[in-house]
Amino acid sequence: MTGSVEFPILISYSQVVVFDRSLERPFNLWTDKHVAQGFSWRPGSAAFGTIAEDGRHLVTVAVDMTEGEQPLGAIRIIDVPFEVPAGDVVEIGSISDSSLLEIPAGTYRLRFECYEPVSGEASRIRFLFVRDASPTFQIVRADSGLSPANELLLIASEA
């Protein structure tokens, strides 16, 4: 896949996860520190806290596109490293729903963007997979629901 794709997903427990579909246990165990920073991460699994606790969300995924200007409507933006395995298939999902995507194998900076919910509409999320030989962790934009510590917690255990 290059370009972008859009699909609906049902979110549970304020969590959406991008993971290597070959992982036997793809979901992460969240600590209070993970909740405060808005993400939990381990190799092959990047989980993000959504603003809306549950319900239908519209997910946009863009691959190998530059993010350009930081989008004005995104109120939460988080970057993490993500390695797409040789099988080229990742899964984006929650506990109750998921979608498979073919993404070229490689090392990416995975950007999560969460948008302010609009009454009567599905909440919106966007993921950008940007090729990057040395991706880093960064909270680019934090909303009032995040209160990260000075030092981010960069590893999680499987749930």
What domains, with CATH codes, occur in the chain? 3-143 (2.60.34.30)
pLDDT tens-digit readout, 97-138:
999 999 999 999 999 999 988 888 889 999 999 999 999 999
Question: Distance between CA 38 and CA 41 in Å, rounded?
Answer: 10
Q: Is the pLDDT of residue 8 over 70?
A: yes
Tally Cβ neighbours within 10 Å of residue 140. Answer: 14
Model confidence, pTM:
0.93
At residue 136, φ and ψ (nearest 5 deg) are -125, 170
Rounded Cα distance between 104 and 119, Å, is 36
Q: Are 21 and 86 in contact (CB under 8 A)?
A: no
Residues whose CB is less than 8 angstroms from the CB of residue 52 and which lie 6 or more positions away in sequence, other chains included: 11, 14, 117, 123
CB neighbours of 134 closer than 8 A, spacing ≥ 6?
none
pLDDT tens for 20-53 read: 999 999 999 999 999 999 999 999 999 999 998 8
